[in-house]
Structure 1
């Protein structure tokens, strides 16, 4: 779930990262998306994709290590079913663990309404990202072809200038740190129950073991482990939902408190966002706007249905547990719930840590190139990174969140609120209409070049942008009150 069907995926992004069955690492796409090799099924349809000749090479320009793409890269030739599976898998992760605690006060009907409304809003935002991405695909300005993924950072730099790219980078770092803090906190809680040790010790042990395995096993080990964990996660989800439905008090779903509903928006966003995958889907489906939009609607509707079922069962059980969060109570005694929670965290944190570590590796490489002119950090995207650089990058990713998690008593929900209420809302709520508006303003038309739908009209851009800013403002008021 991370939260983000049974496909065996390889690297969807050229930067080292892994794509798992029905689950794509969410944290990499807007920084490290380059050439989509999607998955084995895609590779069989497009043998050239992912070949050695198509991988980006590194060259040195004025002492800086940069990458260039092969001009021979073949465009994506993906299937609609494949795109739907990628989006669905990306939306399944640890965010679902925070949902019952945030929706119990509002009740099922208000929270279900918020979920549905958020889903519609996020679909509109996804359509905006699709339209901007396709417009840049067809524009010489972006200096890309349909064979290459235009990342979110590139989209921001092209439409908003270098400052836009810097803003995206800053929000990305803060968002990813918040997510990792939440994952470490929840893993510490679960492991402390499983092994009867203090939470702080469990968190330190988790980070130490996870970091060691990541450094020693790399993405290959992460890929194999995540395939197994994802399958177990889905199986346990079905088991808990079906089993829990037998004991719930379904009349409890009639409880309504609409004033409390807005408090659930951040974690609902966290559980439903998939927008970092949009640039990849655009290339994977060859820029076919109808298929892309269909994949967005269907691929995101499946996680919505899962979330609604999960929330309904959890809230039906709440009345039997004194209106307390049933997941928080069950995790104290149920091994199945403990295992489910741990798998949800593990399948989520892998992508965040891999993506962030590659982000730091790239910047460390550029720093070395500046300090030591003429030195190349690595020759191509598949070259092994120096061990000490990998160690430093992983430490930069894991140590600061660990320290924050150790110092905050309720780090999981606090970090989840920050990530959903500010980070994801900024990146996937405010940014898409602003980018679309920038293109529309530059073209002098009511919609930007390449726009294909009513969604590109400036009135729609204004409404979506205002809604996103309203969500951020509402979360800020809640935090300050």
Structure 2
């Protein structure tokens, strides 16, 4: 493999791996380890197929087009409106989730380091002001910071997994949680689906690799498999050490999960690594998402580059998710689950519609295997994901 392919694989894997990984044990504890693994494989299959479907659409539309332009070409203004609304809703939901998760970790740090009880709402505001400013600095700053932080996060993930693996035991792995079987699945499905949301980078990679279908297919399949393996290992070391019953009792609290993992290991260095890994997973995801949201809002309101224009864009970017984070202080898992709804429209429903229309007009070019049967199954998967989140919400 050449460096461009390796770099592209890293982009796919890096786009998926982030704060969503922290939510997986909290969302799947009630299922138990084996059902959680099965669900991971099923969702990975849907994500890999839809990635190849979006690759097909990109290649047939023309190398160089972005998602918005492709949607407009095939589905017109109405399609673009749905795509834009879905993208905006997704970014708002992810930002709100990362604010709630980040603030809970900030509260934990204040307790552990300064022995002080920080108000959760104050922690949300501090987290927003401290890190939200990076979005206004522009992509070059965020890119430089994110590269360093993401590299550190991966190194810490490896260290944490290696440290916790010897502590995995059969008793913890075999634990089951008493409760509603249906509710357990419905809570887990949307969160796992959101954790495989790497599709936003496909159009960029098509341009980067000059539309080489063979290389792009390899990049997407390998790049999506790396997060799958990371998630499997992460569930193994969390559910296999802390235990499903204990994690389920946290009620979605990220701070309690981090504390429980720290108590498993005897080494102070590994304990700090666990805390730092959680911090970096949240921060890298937060920076990437808020930069995209800031740029999208700026384009939407046609803001200029003046202080007034940037201030207005910043307020419109952060006030809605901040209000959500203040209203739902422990909503990390819940809001991540909600993000699955707009994501379904972006990477399942709209691509299916575009592929069907393209295939009627073009018979040549790359086409993902499976035909209409695979498209139908992907559509059913999308309906199931949305139904699961609505079940949880209602």
The CA deviation at 1:214 is 4.3
Q: Is the 8 A contact 1:134 1:450 kept in 2?
A: no
Partner of 1:346: 283
Distance of 1:261 and 1:117 partners within structure 2: 13
Q: Does 1:274 align with 2:198?
A: yes
Q: Give, in whole Å, the separation in 1 of the partners of 2:343 and 2:384.
A: 14
Q: Which runs of 5+ in 1 are unaligned?
A: 1-40, 42-77, 138-145, 369-376, 378-384
Residue 390 in 1 paired to residue 390 in 2?
no
Is 223-232 or 401-410 further displaced after alignment? 223-232
What TM-score results when the alignment is normalised by the length of structure 2? 0.87
Change (3 A) 1:200 1:295: same
* Residue 179 (structure 1) aligned to one of 94, 100, 103: 94
Distance in structure 2 (CA, Å) of the matches to 1:213 and 1:87 = 23
Helix, strand or coil: the match of 1:410? coil
Structure ranking higher on relative contact order (CA contacts 8 Å, 6+ apart): 2
> What does residue 310 of structure 1 align with?
234
| Cα separation, 2, equivalents of 1:175 and 1:214 | 17
Could you tell me which of 100, 121, 126 is aligned with 1:205?
126
Shift of 1:246: 2.0
Mark the structure with the bigger radius of gyration.
Answer: 1
Q: Aligned equivalents of 1:269 and 1:459: distance in 2?
A: 21
Unaligned runs of 5+ in 2: 111-115, 263-270
Aligned to 2:9: 84
Distance in 2, matches of 1:364 and 1:454, equals: 37
**C-alpha deviation, 1:249, in angstroms:** 1.6
Structure 1 residues 322 and 350: alpha-carbon distance in aligned structure 2, compared to 1, 3 A threshold = closer
Deviations 1:432-469 (CA, angstroms, capped at 9, x unpaired)? 1111112234x2xxxx4444335372332222222212
Q: Would you say how many aligned residue pairs link Structure 1 and Structure 2?
A: 371
User: Distance in 1 between the 2:188 and 2:245 partners?
Assistant: 20
Contact kept in structure 1, 2:298 and 2:313, CA below 8 Å: yes
Asked if 1:355 is matched to 2:276, the reply is no
1:213: Cα distance to partner?
A: 4.6
How far apart in 1 are the matches of 2:99 and 2:368?
42
- Let me know the Cα RMSD of the aligned residues: 2.4
Q: 1:213 & 1:130 partners in 2: Cα distance?
A: 31
Q: In 2, Cα distance between the equivalents of 1:463 and 1:110?
A: 21
Number of the residue aligned with 1:380: none
Query: Aligned-pair distance for 1:248?
Result: 2.2
Quote the offset at 1:328 in angstroms.
4.6
CA displacement 1:393-414 (0-9 Å, x = unmatched):
1111112111111111322122
For 1:155 and 1:320, locate their aligned partners in 2 and report how far apart those are by CA, in whole Å.
44
Aligned to 2:221: 297
Does residue 414 (structure 1) correspond to residue 341 (structure 2)? The answer is: no
Alignment correspondent of 1:223 = 143
Relative to its length, the structure with more helix (as a share) is 2
Give runs of aligned pairs for residues 82-231 of structure 1, distance below 5 A: 82-137=7-62, 146=63, 148=64, 150-195=65-110, 196=116, 197-215=118-136, 217-231=137-151
Distance 1:304 1:173 in 2: 26
SS at match of 2:329: coil
Of 238, 245, 256 in structure 2, the residue corresponding to residue 329 of structure 1 is 256
1:256, distance to aligned residue in structure 2 (A): 6.3
